[in-house]
Amino acid sequence: MQSYVKFLDGLPLILKIVLALPGLDAIVYGIYRIAKGNLLIGLLWIFILFPIGWIIDIITLILNGKVTFLV
């Protein structure tokens, strides 16, 4: 799982933002949160927070260059 985290952290910002678009965000960054060690937030991200999660991820990506909310 650490290789998944390193892979996502190493992507260019534009690709991270594309992966944060609706539909992809819940799976890609939900699994990312699980891989970072936050199982509960990762599962919530996938199954409950997906309608607004992508907006939060895009904002944090633009401001910080990485997903930082609830990780």
pLDDT in tens, 14-35: 999 999 999 899 999 999 999 9
Determine phi and psi for 59, rounding to 5 degrees.
-60, -45
Q: How confident is the model at residue 58 (pLDDT cuts 50, 70, 90)?
A: very high
- Between CA 36 and CA 70 the distance in angstroms is 11
Closest CA to 21 of 61, 68, 64: 61
Percent of the chain with pLDDT over 90: 83
Closest CA to 57 of 27, 23, 4, 21: 21
Token pair 């599962």: residue: 43
- Between CA 23 and CA 2 the distance in angstroms is 23
Query: Residue range 62-68: average pLDDT?
Result: 91
